[in-house]
Amino acid sequence: MRKSPIILALVILVTLSMSAFAQTPGTPAAPAGVVNINTADATQLALLPHVGAKAAQRIVDYRKAHGNFARTTDLMEVKGFGEKSFERLRPYLTTDGKTTLSEKVRGPQKARSSRKSKSSNATASK
């Protein structure tokens, strides 16, 4: 009696069961907290995914010039925050209560093409 087909079947079974419990790529993790866009300072706003120091400062400056945000969707009035970025930030935003987000949220990374392959394609077509 051979054991290799049985071992192979067990390896496949374990691999399939592990992948069933793994988080699918591109699915953001559950929010670890929220940021109150009416009271957060630039440092707290920079904890949001894909928000850096300059964008966070634009939110603070906009709030100083126009007053508090009535609803989270008003964030789209700030330069650099459109529909796509708002949808990415929505789970982490609030206009009331305390800011509870305590560490930088890392969003899913986009696949990037290498520059090397682009330059080699350009030279190959000449």
pLDDT digits (tens, 9 = 90+) for 2-57: 567 777 666 675 665 555 555 445 545 555 799 999 999 999 999 999 999 999 99
Q: For residues 31 and 60, what is the distance between their CA atoms, to the nearest angstrom?
A: 22
Number of domains in the chain: 1
Asked if residue 78 is part of any domain, the answer here is yes
CA 51, 52, 57, 60 dihedral sign is: positive
Domain CATH code at residue 85? 1.10.150.320
> What is the predicted pLDDT for the residue at 41?
96
**Do the domain assignments include residue 77?**
yes
Instruction: List, for residues 91-108, the tens digit of each pLDDT value.
Output: 999 999 999 999 998 866
The reply to whether 40 falls in a domain is yes
